[in-house]
Chain A
Amino acid sequence: MANVVLRNVRKTYPGGVDAIKGVDFEVGDGQFCVLVGPSGCGKSTLLRMVAGLETITSGEIDIGGRVVNQVEPADRDIAMVFQNYALYPHMSVYNNMAYGLRNRGMAKPEIDKRVREAAQILEIGPMLDRKPKQLSGGQRQRVAMGRAIVRQPKVFLFDEPLSNLDAKLRIAMRVEIRKLQRRLSTTSIYVTHDQLEAMTLADILVVMNGGVVEQIGNPLDIYQKPATTFVASFIGAPPMNLTPFKPGEASIAVPGNTGGILGVRPEDLTLTTGTASDGGIRYDLTVEAIERVGAETFVYGSRNGAKEAAAVSSKPGELPPGEIIVRLPGQAAPAIGERIVAVAPRDKLHIFGADGRSRIEL
């Protein structure tokens, strides 16, 4: 049981590439922390630095009150689950789990007890004598988890452990990982690029982009109050609609009357025939595309008058300019080409500064 503290952690690769540009956060004892961000944002590097597989250029990583910058991975009291499982192909499932314990010189009966216990928790008891290649993806995943559990470490580290599984299994394993972590109440750090996984698993969510932390907090707080436009468009699917506005242009009163970026989530928009009330926002749209997923329907509309797709957005998860997504419950939807009016009330609007780096409270 331990907390993990990162103090101004930086990573510069030889050659001058800054992968991590100063990260501070703390994961409390028994908490489940999820690092989320697009590919190349440094989340995996950061995790590998906690594991000891990457050196730390500057700053401190503290596990359970001990600065571990110079400590070998094996001595950090951590266990890691890799994306491709990294099981030893020539060893049986039993030996895969027992290997780390044997290297520590643990007594045989104790090893046996721990392996059987983990196998029982993960329901892989009948497979102990098999080789990894005789197992399915989901079973391999369980063995990889088993290898982490038997160590009874202070911290679990997960590096996109579910991304090699099919969609259905991924959801099932996601729930299981959460249950398991609750049951063992071991501090965990989990890396993923899947914002849904991040939202559902995290006690603390750390959103990263370009080697810096964009926002840290409770997942729902982040969803309700994204601190930057990056977080706003990255967390939530489909992403938040973001439209720039000039000073005085918007129908809403912004403190200081400056320009900025207006955000509204697709589910906060409703179709109407009237106008926006209480200082909300109104979009006149032409329906371009419709996605029906059963319980809900996504309507992609282009704003009347806005220049269509003037430039393809370069930021991940962002819509082409001028396009607005509306999420409607159920299956009813307007026809393609139809003109619609979507409105959102004032308290559902998110206002950001023009650079997208700051949130302005209304």
Chain B
Amino acid sequence: MVENEGIRRYVAHAILWIGIAIVAFPVYLAFVASTQDNAAIANGQMSLLPGGHFLETYYKTLFVGSSGTTREPVGTMLLNSLIMALSIALGKIFISILSAYAIVFFRFPFRMTVFWIIFITLMLPVEVRIYPTYKIAADLNLLDSYSGLALPLIASATATLLFRQFFMTVPDELMEASRIDGAGPFRFFKDTLLPLSRTNMAALFVILFIYGWNQYLWPLLITTRDDMQTIQVGIRKMIVTSDALTEWPVVMATSILAMLPPVLVVIVMQKLFVRGLVETEK
């Protein structure tokens, strides 16, 4: 056992490094491509080392837009995506924490029925209910608007379930102590439940932000104007399939930019995120 330890560690590390390489290489390649001259990529003579067009390409991508089209620059798309992802994440947390609060702490008729109805919506993701949802959004004049992008995705059974599970671990005595301390339902929620849910909310925010950021189908349907486009849809539209030349450096730069916000969110909230998932202390 003891003499094997060294070899085992090397093998384990080697496997991990190979894994990292497999995941990281495409990202690296995208970054390198975004700094090259478009001609070099089109020729198939792309170097594996970063080229000298970094500032130029990123400036063009963010503020000018790809040439030959009338597309909006990526800056606008990033902003649209950010607004959409933030509204979805915050909206989902807001709605689901309130519904979980109602389901766990209040006794009202058909409480369990309500819970099961919420639960069943897990089986109805956007893809399944796309036509009725689109119809409603269109009827409500939500096409090409931020509310149209975010609202239909805000209801969340997953988040409601997560908060419900957490609330059920809160001892009843805490609520009773609050009642004796003169805190009504709203005060108990604000002063006790919210602070206790902080880490859960952070963990959910990370997951939901990425969920919102990665939406493709819904934004594709609901937005027709270029200035309302999200970055996920924008990338696809940049890749020209007709006779024009695709501007690969700009596409790659857009991809890199599209990856950054979720990465930033994860890095910034990592500590809270992990605590939210493993913490049991009450």
Residues of A whose CB lies within 8 Å of any CB of B are 51-53, 72-75, 78-80, 82-84, 86-90, 99-100, 103-104, 133, 147
Contacts and interface: CB of A to CB of B under 8 A. Distances in A.
A89 B187 contact: no
A267 to B, nearest CB: 39
Given A88-B177, A90-B195, 19 more contacts: A53-B176, A53-B179, A73-B176, A74-B180, A79-B180, A80-B176, A80-B180, A82-B173, A82-B176, A84-B171, A86-B173, A86-B174, A86-B177, A88-B191, A99-B181, A99-B183, A100-B180, A103-B183, A147-B177
B192 interface: yes
A88 B192 contact: yes
A74 B196 CA distance: 23
Nearest to A99: B181
Among B173, B180, B191, the one with the most A-chain Cβ atoms within 10 Å of its Cβ is: B180
Interface string B138-177: 0000000000000000000000000000000001011011
B9 interface: no
Nearest to A95: B191
A74 B171 contact: no
A78 to B, nearest CB: 7
Contact of A103 (B182, B195, B196, B281): B182
A86 B182 CA distance: 15
A99 B191 CA distance: 9
From DSSP, what is the main secondary structure of chain B's interface residues? helix
B282 interface: yes
Contacts of B195: 90
Given A80-B177, A82-B173, A82-B176, A104 B196 contact: no
9 contacts: A72-B179, A80-B177, A82-B173, A82-B176, A83-B173, A84-B171, A86-B177, A89-B196, A103-B187
B171 A100 contact: no
Contacts of B174: 86, 88
Interface of B: 171, 173-174, 176-177, 179-183, 187, 191-192, 195-196, 281-282
Contacts, number: 58
Contacts of B182: 74-75, 100, 103-104
Contacts of A75: 182
Ranked 8 nearest A-B pairs via Cβ? A100-B181, A86-B173, A74-B182, A103-B182, A86-B177, A90-B195, A82-B173, A73-B180
A49 B235 CA distance: 64
A38 B192 CA distance: 33
Contacts of A147: 177, 181
Interface centre among B177, B182, B183 (most CB of A within 10 A): B177
A90 B281 contact: no
Given A99-B191, A103-B187, A89 B282 contact: yes
A103 B178 CA distance: 10
A133 B281 contact: yes
Contacts of A83: 173
A330 B191 CA distance: 57
A104 B176 CA distance: 16
Contact of A84 (B173, B181, B183, B196): B173
A285 to B, nearest CB: 47
A52 B174 CA distance: 15
Contacts of B179: 52-53, 72-74
Contacts of A73: 176, 179-180
B202 to A, nearest CB: 14
Contact of A51 (B171, B180, B183, B282): B180
B181 A74 contact: yes
A90 B282 CA distance: 9
B166 to A, nearest CB: 13
Contacts of B177: 80, 82, 86-88, 147
A86 B188 CA distance: 13
A101 to B, nearest CB: 9
Contacts of B281: 89, 133
A88 B196 CA distance: 9
Contacts of B181: 74, 99-100, 103, 147
Contacts of A51: 176, 180
Q: Which of A53, A79, A87 has the most CB of B within 10 A?
A: A53
Nearest to B194: A90
Contacts of B173: 82-84, 86
A87 B176 CA distance: 11
A152 to B, nearest CB: 14
Contacts of B183: 74, 99, 103
Contacts of A74: 179-183
Contacts of B187: 103
A103 B184 CA distance: 9
B191 A86 contact: no
Contacts of A88: 174, 177, 191-192
B183 to A, nearest CB: 5
A78 B171 contact: no
Given A89-B196, A90-B195, A78 B180 contact: yes
Nearest to A88: B192
B33 to A, nearest CB: 49
Nearest to B187: A103
